[in-house]
Amino acid sequence: MTHPNIIFVFADQWRYQATGFGGDPNVKTPHLDALARRSLNFSNAISGCPVCCPARSSLLTGRYPDQHGVFVNDVHLNTDAVSMAQAFSTGGYHSGYIGKWHVDGHGRSNYIPPERRQGFDHWMVLECTHDYNDSAYYSGKDETKRVWPEYDAIPQTYEAQRYITEQAESDNPFLLVLSWGPPHNPYETAPEKYCEMYDPATLTLHPNVAPEKEAIAREELAGYYAHCTALDDLIGELLTTVDEAGIADETIFVFWSDHGDMLHSQDEARKQRPWEESIHVPC
C-alpha cells in the first residue's frame, strides 16, 4: 500500500468524552466504537487551538496558528503554505472536499473561487452555516447557491459515498475530506428519530457541572448526543461503502474533530477554554 487512499472525516465541536470509546455512559456511537477498537486510537489528541478556523487552518497547512496567522474565526487563511491537497496532488492524488470549509474569511455564505480552495479538485462546499436543515453549498465552479436536502450531513455523506465509489474505479489514489457541521449548536436540530433517543432527565452529567446549570446542561446534552448518534450512523454507512468498493485494504480512514464543547462543565459553554471538554478531541 504505497499510495493509500485517504478518507478524512471530521465533525465540528465533538468532544472526545461524547463517544462510547471515550467513556460516555449516555451517548450511542456503536460505529465509532467499533472503528476505535480496530484502529490506532490517539486517546490523548488535543486541539492545538480549540476554535473552528484556527484548527481547520492547522489541519490544511500542517502549521500552528503562530505560523498560519489564523487565531479567531472568520479570518482568511492565506495560500503561502503547501496545503494538504497540494501535497497529495504532487503524489498523483485526486482530492475532494465536501461540507463546511470555514477558512476563507470572505463571508460565510459567499462563493469561494478555485484559487482560494487550497488545491482541492472536487468541491461541494459552503464557508459556514449551522442551519443544518436549510444548508447551502456551491458545487465546482458553478457560482449558483444550492441547498442540501434535509439534514445536511446526510446528503453530504451520500455525495462522499458517490465520490468514493467513483474514485475506487480510477487508477489514481484519492484524498477525500468530509466536514460536517454538527454536533455544534444549535443542539435541538438533529433528525427527530435521534432526538427521541435521549431523555434529558436520565442523562449522567460530568461531576464538574454546577447544580444550577444541570437543567440547561441536560437539555443541551440531549440534543448534542442526538447529533452525535446521527453522525455515527453516517460513519457506518461510509465504512460500508469503502468495503463494498473493494478498497478497504488500501484506504486509511481517519475520524477527527476540530475541538470539543464545554456544555456547562466548569460553568463554561462552547469552546476556546483550556479545559478537557474543550480541547480533548477524538482522533
pLDDT at 159 over 90: yes
Tell me the three state secondary structure of residue 159.
helix
Tell which residue, 8, 21, 169, 31, has the closest CA to residue 95: 8
Grade residue 187 by pLDDT with cuts at 50, 70 and 90: very high
User: Given a cut of 70, is residue 1 above it in pLDDT?
Assistant: no
pLDDT of 206 strictly over 90: yes
Select which of 31, 49, 52, 264 is catalytic.
Answer: 52
Quote the strand ranges of the chain, DSSP E. Answer: 5-12, 94-100, 122-126, 136-139, 146-147, 174-183, 251-257
**Residues 112, 105: Cα–Cα separation, whole Å:** 10
Query: Residues 6 or more apart from 23 whose CB is under 8 A from it?
Result: 17
Judge contact between 183 and 224, C-beta under 8 A.
Answer: yes
**Percent of the chain whose pLDDT exceeds 70:** 100
pLDDT in tens, 169-179: 999 999 999 99
pLDDT digits (tens, 9 = 90+) for 96-147: 999 999 999 999 999 999 999 999 999 999 999 999 999 999 999 999 999 9
Average pLDDT, rounded, for the chain: 97
Residue 111 has a pLDDT of: 98
**Sheet containing 122-126, strands listed edge to edge, beginning at the edge strand earlier in sequence:** 146-147, 136-139, 122-126, 94-100, 174-183, 5-12, 251-257
Buried b (16+ CB within 10 A) or exposed e, 18-48: bbbbbebebbbbebbebbbeeeeeeeeeebe
In the chain, the domains with their CATH numbers are 5-279 (3.40.720.10)
**pLDDT band of 235, cuts 50, 70, 90:** very high
Active site residue 53: no
Tell me if 198 sits within 8 A of 26, measured CB to CB.
yes
DSSP class of 267? T
Label each residue of 34-65 as H, E or C: HHHHCCCCCCCCECCCCCHHHHHHHHHHCCCH
Instruction: At 210, list the grid cell.
Output: 454546577
Place of cell 475520524: 255
Q: Is 128 a catalytic residue?
A: no
What local confidence, expressed as pLDDT, does residue 2 receive?
Answer: 81
- pLDDT score of 41: 96
CA angle 263, 282, 105 (to 5 degrees): 75
Catalytic residue (one of 31, 68, 94, 102): 102
- How many Cα neighbours within 13 Å face the side chain of 266? 13
CA dist., res. 246 & res. 102, Å (int): 33
CA distance 111 to 102: 12
